[in-house]
Structures are given as C-alpha cells and as structure tokens.
Amino acid sequence: MLVGIGPGSVEHMTLRARAAIAEADVVIGYVTYIKLVADLVEGKRIVRKSMTEELDRAVQALEEAQAGHKVALISSGDAGVYGMAGPTYEVLFQAGWTPEHPVEVEVIPGASAINACAARVGAPLTHDFCSISLSDLLTPWPVIARRLDAAAAADFVVALYNPKSGRRTQQIVQAQRLFLRHRRPDTPVAIVKSAYRRRERIEFTTLAQMCEADIGMLSTVLIGNSNTTIQHGRMVTPRGYANKYDVADGGSTREGEKPGRSLSTGLSGWYQDLHERHAQGASAAALSQLHKLPLDYIEAVLAEPLQEELTLSAASQDE
Amino acid sequence: MLVGIGPGSVEHMTLRARAAIAEADVVIGYVTYIKLVADLVEGKRIVRKSMTEELDRAVQALEEAQAGHKVALISSGDAGVYGMAGPTYEVLFQAGWTPEHPVEVEVIPGASAINACAARVGAPLTHDFCSISLSDLLTPWPVIARRLDAAAAADFVVALYNPKSGRRTQQIVQAQRLFLRHRRPDTPVAIVKSAYRRRERIEFTTLAQMCEADIGMLSTVLIGNSNTTIQHGRMVTPRGYANKYDVADGGSTREGEKPGRSLSTGLSGWYQDLHERHAQGASAAALSQLHKLPLDYIEAVLAEPLQEELTLSAASQDE
C-alpha cells in the first residue's frame, strides 16, 4: 500500500490512508514521515529510512510483501507526486512483478504539498499550474531549465518542489533568472514551510526578492501567474471571470458574452477571427506572432475550412 | 469552509473534510457533488446549484455566513484546483471582505482528480507535471494553446481537465495536434472517468489515438512524458533513476555518479561543461541550440565566472 499521508497532520489524512497504516504489519518510510504518523504505527514493525534510500525502501517493501506481510510504504503528500509510487513500480517491474503476482499493489492518493500549501495561502492554483522539482540529483539541469522557462513563458502558476537545500543553493537563483525573462519582478510568490505542521511558516514575497527569503528542504515555493494578486494576506489567482463576468455587477455577463457558452475568444470564436484576419491580409507569420503560437500550427488551422460543427457550436454551445 | 471532497468516495475524504461538512448548517454545491456526500448532509439545509453557477454559489455562501450560519461550500477533488476557492475569494474581496471581517474562511485541501486518477493507473505523475483545463468558457483559446504547446515541448506529464463535453468537442483535437508537434504518436495516454466511483472507467491509449477514446465531462486525460510507459496495465513515469542508479543491479550507482550528490549533469556539472565547450570554441548560439535553452540565458551563464561555491558544491554536495 503506497500511502500518501497528506501534509502531515492527522486531520488531513484520508480515511483510507489511516486504514491502510492500521492494516499494515510493517510500515516503511523516511524517518520524518514516520514521526508524523507516530500514533498510528505504535506496535507495528517500523523501518525508518534516510532521504536518499528510496530504492531501498521499495525493495524492502517488496521483500516484506513477498514474505506475506502487509506493507504500508508511506510518502508525505501524495505518493504519486515525487513520492514512492514511481520508484516502487520501477522496482516491481524490474523484479518481474505483474498484476497476476500474489503481491497486490494499491496507491492511496492524498493531497500533495502543492494543494496543502495553496490552501494555507488562499487560492493561488485556481487556474492551470505546473509542478517542477529543482532537485538535480536525478535530473539533468537543462531538462529542469527548459521546464522552468516553458512554464514561465506560458503563464502557468508554478509550484517549485525541493527548491533549496544546504548544498543545492543555486538552482533557485537560476529559476528566478529564467522566470524574470517572462514575468514581472513584482509577480507574487508564496513560500510555505511545513504546512499544517507545528513549525508552519508562510512568507509572501515577489519574484524579484524570492531568493532572499528563507527557503529550505521543507518549503514549497508558489509563483503566481500574470493575474495573481496578494490582497489582505491571501494569494489569489482569478479563474478568468474578469474576462467574462463582471464580478462587481453581481456576476452579470459582459456584453457580447453568453453564460455557459465558450468565450468569444474560445476555440470557435478564435477560429473565425483567425480566418477573417487572414482574409483581410494578415499573414500566417504575423498571426503566429500575434498569438505567440507556432507558425505550423497557425498554418494548419488556416488550411482547414471552418468546420460546420465548429460554427454551429459557436451558435449553440453550452456546457 | 471551502471543502475539497476528493474523488467522491467516502474513504478518500480527509477527516477534516468530513468534519467540516458535519459542522456546517448549510451545504452548498454542484448537484453531483452533493450526491457524493449524501450521507453526510442529511438533516442539513442543502443548496444545489448547476455547473455554471459558480459565482452564485460563492455569493450565497457569503450571504449565509454573514447571517451567522456555518457554510460548507463543496468542490470535488481539491477546492483550490479549478474549484470554488478562487471564485469565492474573488467574490469575498469584491464584497470588501478582509481577514478582520467576522466571516472566517478556511480552505480544506483534498486529493485533486489528477492525484486520484493517477493512483488508479499506476504512477504516471512521478516527475514534473502540468495541469491544463481545455474549457474555453472563461479562458481565450490562444492562452490554452500556448500552455499545451509549452507543456508538450518541455516534456511535462500533462493532465487535461474538462477535456470534452457534448458541445466542446474540438479542443481535445487541437490539444492532440499541438502535442504531436513534440511527442511521439505512441506516447502513453490514460483516460480515467469517475475515479473511485461506481461508474469508474479506465482506458489506456496513445497520443495518436486519443481522440477516438470515450472522453467526457467526468474524464481526466493523463498524457505521459517521453519516458512514460504502460506495462502490465500500469502507466509509470520513471523518476530518472535510469540516469543514475542501475535499477537492475539493485540500485548501485552508475559509474561517475555519486549517490546523494547532484547528477554530473546537474547544475554545477552543467555549468562546467558549458564553460569548457565554450572555451573549446562552441558559440553561445550553438550551445543554446544544443540544450534548447534561450540564447540570452546561455550568454548570461557564460558571462558568469564559475562561482567558487558552485565548483565546491560539485565536489562536496550532498542532500
């Protein structure tokens, strides 16, 4: 049982996560996570591992399960997000495991650090977001850098996991540098350490000042998108309502927009607009620049006749 | 209380989510989510809303709270991920709310659809991932398209929320088109409908065949990265161990790599390599192409002397 224990407070564990630990004969995990569930593991055989022994934990879990013991292999947050689920499946497959094997495998989802930290600061994740780990222990730096640059350019809200450690101090500086290529220096940033735990600490800052903040191994860094704001101590990313609904007017729809139907700049509206501009003389290259979309994509869209179903759906679309 | 109820099974709710609903006088939510917690809301005043009435739900929640009632405003998954947290804070601020106001606000995190669906198919999210909504009801299509293209290019695992509806059928086709610019047609894809609910359905397919699959309003689409595989009915994204640890050899470190220290192509190693290649005659432009990183970023890195702490940390770094 690959158990995501959530942020580390008993209240924020799921019933299934608690039940899985209660059912287990053996509980294996990084020593800090074992402490977080100390009350639940009393009387059980406990195997405490260090941070870099992830494969060891997975191998031992398999051995114990093969010996007939029920094993809870615990991760903070969600086991599938930078947790034990991936490494364990890799070990299982390498050992020749298949679903027909006597050892059963269950992944138990939990709220990841991104969800827990977001809940503590307001509603920063409302819209599309990315999760990027700054740990280059296992991933080449160029891969990480390309992801940071892409996420910043496409205006995602971004959560940085493993942002900094005693020795790994420069990756966060590089991340800031890449973000500043696309984002305003005053972009809101929240740094949350130990969400829902005794030593919880929340700091609001900006992209420009991010590197001066207190960031450590237990921190998650949340970088807002271009619409995110911090007001009254709450970091909030709008869902796009300001494009369509006048929140000040009690939610009445803006002129030209229809509730329940795609925004006029939704796919159908955008298709029509693109074809019209092109018909009026705008080149594919100019349109590619205007929308910051690849030229070949724009050309492919222009080459398609406006499909009947697209125009029909513009007229009658609703969710 | 902005409650994330998780995927919709009682077992996978957190203790706090259940307690919040139990404490509430009024429970407000989209009719389908209310049904998912039917047993918990017996005897309470229930306000069922339709899908597009998000602002209404938030406004009514505020009115009820101002009247002295405890309100549970429920979202499936996590309230902060395409849920009610963002719209509610927008309504609160518009109404002049501040944390000093008598109405208290609590966001209760839960496992989002991405975590629940991932748990049902294996371990697809192990590494960096993005979440993108294909709903253009509130977001202009070019914004969505830029995000899809960036996420695909930077090799994120991607979860598509709101992938398709009765009328919104073309956005998933456009998403596929953009992904195929960067990803192999045989990239693994999982489509999970109603994870942990009675009508749960899981389908594995590939990027090339994604649009033929049964995708609806209750589906989440998970697109793997370039290393993701589907083996024995489990979709697994490796954490990068194959770069460093020989999983087949029981986890011994590959030659030249050191356990607990940054990969030789981690930041310090990459810095050294870049400076060396440049010294040997490689231009910044060529290096920019080689690593697919922006020219100005490469130039900035080359302009910096290799910092003492970076080279020292290459020698002595550990987590």
Query: Per-residue pLDDT for B223 more than 90?
Result: yes
| pLDDT tens profile B186-213 | 999 999 999 999 999 999 999 999 999 9
Q: What is the pLDDT of residue B36?
A: 82
Average pLDDT over residues B138-157: 95
Structure tokens at A151: 């996420």
Q: What's the pTM value of the predicted model, to 2 decimals?
A: 0.91
Backbone angle region of A309, left / alpha / beta, with phi > 0 → left and psi within -120 to 50 → alpha: alpha
Q: What is the pLDDT of residue A136?
A: 86
Query: In terms of pLDDT, which residue wins out, A216 or B35?
Result: A216
Amino acid at A264: S
Cβ within 8 Å, pair B111-A310: no
**Dist. CA A188–CA B160, nearest whole Å:** 25
Q: Sorting pLDDT into bands at 50, 70 and 90, what band is A60?
A: very high
**Dist. CA B190–CA B203, nearest whole Å:** 6
Q: Of A50-59, A97-106, A205-214, B38-47, where does mean pLDDT reach its minimum?
A: A50-59
CB-count burial class (<10 Å; 0-12, 13-18, 19+) for B229: middle
Query: Per-residue pLDDT for B308 more than 70?
Result: no
Q: Of A173-187, A231-245, A247-261, where does mean pLDDT reach its minimum?
A: A247-261
Nearest CA in chain B to A178: B297
Cβ atoms of B107 and A233 closer than 8 Å: no
Average pLDDT over residues B271-285: 95
Cβ atoms of B270 and A141 closer than 8 Å: yes
Query: In terms of pLDDT, which residue wins out, B239 or B88?
Result: B88
| pLDDT tens profile B255-277 | 666 666 666 778 989 999 999 99
**Dist. CA A119–CA B2, nearest whole Å:** 9
Q: What is the pLDDT of residue B114?
A: 96
Query: Per-residue pLDDT for B23 more than 80?
Result: yes
Average pLDDT over residues A200-215: 97
Chain B nearest-CA distance from A46, in A, is 22
Q: Of A89-93, A278-282, B57-61, B249-253, where does mean pLDDT reach its minimum?
A: B249-253
Chain A nearest-CA distance from B43, in A, is 23
Residues of B in contact with A99 (CB under 8 A): 232-234
Residues of A in contact with B6 (CB under 8 A): 14, 109
Amino acid at B38: A
**Predicted complex ipTM:** 0.91
Cβ atoms of A159 and A220 closer than 8 Å: yes
The CATH number of A114-236, from 3.40.190.10, 2.30.31.10, 3.40.50.300, 3.30.950.10, is 3.30.950.10
Among B142, B239, B291, beta carbon nearest to A270: B142
Q: What is the pLDDT of residue A255?
A: 62
**Dist. CA B37–CA B22, nearest whole Å:** 11
Q: What is the pLDDT of residue A36?
A: 82
Among B115, B127, B138, beta carbon nearest to A109: B115
Chain A nearest-CA distance from B189, in A, is 16
Chain A nearest-CA distance from B224, in A, is 13
Site of tokens 């942020």: A7
Cβ within 8 Å, pair B14-A13: yes
Q: Sorting pLDDT into bands at 50, 70 and 90, what band is B254?
A: low
Q: Sorting pLDDT into bands at 50, 70 and 90, what band is B137?
A: confident
Residues of B in contact with A111 (CB under 8 A): 4, 14, 78, 109-112, 115
* CATH tag, A2-111: 3.40.1010.10
Who contacts B104 (Cβ-Cβ below 8 Å, separation ≥6)?
none
Q: Sorting pLDDT into bands at 50, 70 and 90, what band is B246?
A: very low
Query: Per-residue pLDDT for A151 more than 80?
Result: yes
Query: In terms of pLDDT, which residue wins out, A274 or A254?
Result: A274
Query: In terms of pLDDT, which residue wins out, B264 or A295?
Result: A295
Cβ within 8 Å, pair B263-A139: yes
Q: What is the pLDDT of residue B3?
A: 96
